[in-house]
Structure 1
């Protein structure tokens, strides 16, 4: 396991123990970075109008198209670290 993969795995565990729940936009950013880091570019059909949450999640992930998985993992780790330190919400 590479260093970034280990940090990414630790950040996934750490995100469950944050001191406070992040705001919705931060949660979308976490979701998008997680998906880009673990799966890569968004694929499949975009959720329909009735699935508002799914649509926002897909759009956030799709916005990262072209971002390398390692870059997304690094950004995810950095975001979780800032949340743990109370720097972002």
Structure 2
């Protein structure tokens, strides 16, 4: 199975988790997904009142410089740990 196939399978598993991961886990999985699919952050940081948007932007920006393949590998590892702790439907 190629890296892209493993990544897509992991993304599908994350969508089907039995329960919602913690906020920190959600931010981590979001940041790794964005880094893997888009690369370094390419938008302006959200405004002062958009707390959720700022948290997501900051998490993604923290992955700056990580290659897309490395981000996919890290995403797969994180997704697998969430699947093993939360299970999937």
Q: Fold-level match, TM-score > 0.5?
A: yes
Structure 2 residue 63 is the aligned partner of structure 1 residue 64: yes
Give, in angstroms, the shift of residue 5 of structure 1: 0.6
User: What does residue 55 of structure 1 align with?
Assistant: 54
Stretches of structure 2 that go unaligned for 5 or more consecutive residues are none
User: What does residue 19 of structure 1 align with?
Assistant: 18
Give, in angstroms, the shift of residue 17 of structure 1: 1.3
Give, in angstroms, the shift of residue 20 of structure 1: 2.0
Give, in angstroms, the shift of residue 84 of structure 1: 0.8
Whole-angstrom distance in 2 between the partners of 1:75 and 1:44: 23
Whole-angstrom distance in 1 between the partners of 2:4 and 2:15: 18
Stretches of structure 1 that go unaligned for 5 or more consecutive residues are none
Superimposed CA distance per residue, residues 53-79 of structure 1 (whole angstroms, 9 cap, x where no aligned partner): 000000000000000000000110111
Superimposed CA distance per residue, residues 4-33 of structure 1 (whole angstroms, 9 cap, x where no aligned partner): 111111111110111321000000000000
With normalisation by structure 1, the TM-score equals: 0.91
**4+ runs of 1 displaced by more than 6 Å?**
none
* Length, aligned pairs only: 86
Give, in angstroms, the shift of residue 38 of structure 1: 0.2
Whole-angstrom distance in 2 between the partners of 1:82 and 1:20: 13
